[in-house]
Structure 1
């Protein structure tokens, strides 16, 4: 399943599934709903993906495998450890902001309903990304730049948690920060929110002067 071959019909089904899952929730969406909206026979959807869980797994891999590639290639860039961490934050926020629907499903609905054991591919992806983050932080520690008492598995939830709290309270922050258009809101995430998260992670990692 991790190397799913995608044709136009499969991609069409995945795009529709993402839209419906993010609007109606995973449990609130049926294979019938997806096939109807995608205008593809229900038997064909079942033939391609088997079950709704397998469809979700394919959707996760389709939407997040490029994140994995970006993080892995970052490891080999000729940058200082702190610059790598800053770039990692940028990559995460950019990917999540571009795929809010699927990430909302992953980080809220699924984890809260303990469905993650069915999503081995997603668990593997997270482990791989954590390993990459660990490599960057260990490099910084070996150079004496990063603290040795950092709890590495808590770095990713610090990045994601800040983003999701901000996004889940979108109307509040739009009013508070005068972000009354979608462009202003997205620019704020790309610049100010990303910078705030970078500063937060730096404070966790770097020794105080």
Structure 2
């Protein structure tokens, strides 16, 4: 059975509580009972909706990542120059990840340890779809003669995400270095300076040197 992205209000409540608990206590440290108690939803109901904790995590990944897919698809329809589309795509990516740090931390850990029988097929399909969107933008830029022909497209996403994650993994260091004393200042720095820096980096990779 394919996972659905249409969740009802109760399911969304369960997913959001699960996300918070997974991010705080880890996947192993969280039980369906904890989730049901925190969500104030009967444990049988949680099991009925999602089955196991593994399936719940799969649904959570889908819930959190499917809106990225919609955002990219609508971006594709916009009447913008290829480089403007890329800049917007970077903005969307960074914003999505920064708003969903919890789920990305869980994912990162689950992928790295790979000790569980999690079905990441839907997530992999989604990533392939996102890559196709990126590819379409870059090919458009190439056909217009503005982007280089020798770009390794699958490496663009890790370049974007790698910069963000390195910055985020070293949060205390950068907070201190850049004097980002509050969470608002930190998030604002990501939104403006870090995003702009990544856009400039990607632009330098894509555009012919004049």
Show the counterpart of 1:42. Answer: 43
Does 2:110 match 1:110?
Answer: yes
Show the counterpart of 2:130. Answer: 129
Query: Unpaired segments of 5 or more residues in structure 1?
Result: none
Following the alignment from structure 2 to structure 1, what is the Cα–Cα distance between the partners of residues 33 and 98? 28
Deviation at 1:203, TM superposition (A): 1.2
> CA 1:116–1:207 in structure 2 vs 1: closer, same or farther (change >3 Å)?
farther
1:154-165 aligned within 5 A: 154-165=155-166
Show the counterpart of 2:3. Answer: 2
Query: Unpaired segments of 5 or more residues in structure 2?
Result: none
Does 2:78 match 1:66?
Answer: no
Following the alignment from structure 2 to structure 1, what is the Cα–Cα distance between the partners of residues 28 and 203? 39
Deviation at 1:4, TM superposition (A): 4.5
1:12-68 alpha-carbon deviations (Å, 9 max, x no partner): 110110001111222222212211221222221111101112111111121121110
Deviation at 1:124, TM superposition (A): 0.9
8 Å CA contact retained: 2:148, 2:207 = yes
Show the counterpart of 1:139. Answer: 140
8 Å CA contact retained: 2:54, 2:118 = no
> CA 1:139–1:5 in structure 2 vs 1: closer, same or farther (change >3 Å)?
closer
8 Å CA contact retained: 2:5, 2:66 = no
> CA 1:20–1:120 in structure 2 vs 1: closer, same or farther (change >3 Å)?
same
Show the counterpart of 1:16. Answer: 17
Following the alignment from structure 2 to structure 1, what is the Cα–Cα distance between the partners of residues 49 and 172? 39
Does 2:206 match 1:202?
Answer: no
Following the alignment from structure 1 to structure 2, what is the Cα–Cα distance between the partners of residues 203 and 121? 33
Following the alignment from structure 1 to structure 2, what is the Cα–Cα distance between the partners of residues 85 and 5? 29
Indicate the larger mover: 58-67 or 191-200.
58-67
Give the TM-score, by structure 1 length.
0.94
8 Å CA contact retained: 2:147, 2:207 = yes
Structure 1 segments (4+ residues) deviating >6 Å: none
Show the counterpart of 1:181. Answer: 182
Deviation at 1:171, TM superposition (A): 1.0
Q: 2:41 aligns to what SS in structure 1?
A: coil
Give the TM-score, by structure 2 length.
0.94
Please, what is the CA RMSD of the aligned residues?
A: 1.5
